[in-house]
Structure 1
């Protein structure tokens, strides 16, 4: 059985299409919990209509007060997952029919190899589409110039490769999750859970895209074309923005170290301590830390930007 957690906020335009795509899944052993974050449109009403039609499959929870972000809404829902596996779901995408089945197959493959007591996370590629589901790219990883092979701890604390709406985790990983004292230091829920899996377990990847990842004006996190010259030039010119992005990764690494220090091995503690301390070092030592622990993003342009703006 799989618990699907969907965080919603003012998503009435696409919510019905997303829920219908879940109902069409070839794997039917799932339940959907929708938690609405005090929407001001008809999102909760749309969700309630489906919950009324499928009471054995769909449940709606309405928050009494806003969580402040999709990240916080998702984190507050993790304790609701009481089944062997849990998936997280956005409100505006479309799941392809075999999404759950393909992800579950990979999860069971990992469990056979590593044991069900090992914290495990599985994610997949996505097709990028516009608001009307016209395909923009057959692979999110390609358009963002990312590699699913970069799933080691020293790589994930610098750059995330896991998209939350494709993610499945097992109970062993959820058991490792504890409330984050300083949630503002965590960038996104999927990134945090990916780091958790890299530190204590294993990450698996399904190359087949399982989602139509809809791009529209209200996306909180969108698909940027990392191959575009205009995009790269704009990023290079925005030095303040680049430094802010790097500082966020330092803070997140420091927060993870604070939460899990007692459970990490010595090498992991040294890695996280070195990276989270980068802002305190002189320029030469910052670059030395990146080289010493191989703390680089994928691609020459990104590596160059790290060295220039570190």
Structure 2
């Protein structure tokens, strides 16, 4: 395995309770070539003081950016803008999880393998994401989530569903460059989440891989519950409420339109071009909706969620 640098992109906000555990798990990784770039999103507790203490203890390995409270997506976007251009690999990181000891070694190995599989020495954008080991607030393991996707990660999935848990995502420099080459043109208000945007972009122009082996202990507590242990019915019920609440905003279509604006001209796969255009084209009557569904190749990862997607198309929520 190479000795190329992996930079951790970590956004913090009022994370004094758990940030020390997370930083310890990063700095104790056996892969030695790790640097950490932290952007604090305007914390009002002791988070910054704790991080500054780590900066003093691990000089040269941790860099802290102090900022105003701008929210999750802009904070991670800023981290990508400020990322080390000499690093080969990067990964997103949340403040309240704990990394498994082999996380970075596995990530670098998998990304290197994905790069080496390309012909003629061409390096393409590549990202991996993994399952997580859900835990309670005290890091007692509960269940592994999510399970292996029913279907492979792809652009046809990414247009309408994000299956990449951001805290597990690792990616190569070509991915960073692809996203940041258009940084000034992207309207972040049209993006659902930074990890979803990356999944959408890289699934269309690079390689995306899922690893079913967990790489993090995904701490569940009152401030971050993600519903990882919810039943399929509960998840669908939650999604229905969300779609109903935002029915006039058409959030998925807005994100797809933003993608088309930024990257549509770079797409070379004719099927992707056609499916994207069909999804963003207004469906003004019942006949148009049926025509779209007959030719639609987009999919979510469960049978019930696919039924919900089709129903939402029919009633005009998407």
Tell me how far 1:237 sits from its aligned partner. 6.5
Offset, 1:160: 1.1
Partner residue of 1:101?
Answer: 105
Matched residue, 2:316: none
Which structure 2 residues correspond to residues 119-134 of structure 1 after superposition, within 5 A? Answer: 119-134=125-140
Q: Verify: 1:218 aligned to 2:220, yes or no.
A: no
- Does residue 262 in structure 1 map to residue 265 in structure 2? yes
Whether 1:298 aligns to 2:301 is yes
> Structure 2: any 5+ residue segments left out of the alignment?
314-318
Deviations 1:220-260 (A, max 9, x none): x7133353545545555676148479x22111111000011
Structure 2 CA distance for partners of 1:93 and 1:160, relative to 1, 3 Å: same
Is 2:198 aligned against 1:198? no
Cα-to-partner distance string for 1:122-147 (whole Å, 9 max, x where unaligned): 1111111111112221x2112xxx60
Task: Calculate the aligned-residue CA RMSD, in Å.
Answer: 2.1
State whether residues 275 and 297 of structure 2, in contact with CA within 8 Å, keep that contact through their aligned partners in structure 1: no
The 1-side partners of 2:242 and 2:187 are apart by: 27
Q: In the aligned structure 1, how far is the partner of 2:290 from the partner of 2:96? A: 40
User: Structure 1's 134 and 29: CA in aligned 2 closer, same or farther, altered over 3 A?
Assistant: same
Q: Which residue of 1 aligns with 2:6?
A: 2
- List alignment gaps of at least 5 residues for structure 1: none
Which residue of the partner structure matches residue 208 of structure 1? 213
Q: C-alpha deviations, 1:256-278, integer Å up to 9, x for none?
A: 0001122122623322221122x
Aligned partner (choices 31, 36, 40) of residue 27 of structure 1:
31
Aligned equivalents of 2:236, 2:187: Cα separation in 1: 32
Alpha-carbon distance in structure 2 between the residues aligned to 1:228 and 1:33: 37
List aligned pairs for 1:15-54, cutoff 5 A. Answer: 15-54=19-58
Distance in structure 1 (CA, Å) of the matches to 2:288 and 2:244: 21
* 1:22-45 deviation line (CA, Å, top 9, x unaligned): 112111111001110111111111
Q: How many residues are matched?
A: 301
Structure-2 change in CA distance of 1:233 and 1:269 (3 Å): closer
Within the alignment, does 1:170 sit opposite 2:172 as a pair? yes
**For each residue in 1:178-219, what CA deviation from the matched residue of structure 2 results, as whole angstroms up to 9, or x when unmatched?**
225321110011111111111111012222101001111211
Structure 1 pair 197/181, CA: closer, same or farther in 2 (3 Å)?
closer
Scaled by the length of structure 1, what TM-score is found?
0.90
- Indicate which of 185, 189, 196 corresponds to 2:194: 189
Q: 1:119·1:200 contact (CA, 8 Å) conserved in 2?
A: yes
2:270 pairs with 1:249: no
Query: d(CA) in 2 for partners of 1:96 and 1:194?
Result: 23
8 Å contact from structure 1 (residues 290, 296) kept in 2: no
Structure 1 residue 2, shift from structure 2 partner: 0.6
Give the C-alpha shift of residue 158 in structure 1. 1.1
Shifted more, 288-297 versus 97-106: the winner is 288-297
What is the TM-score normalised by the length of structure 2? 0.88
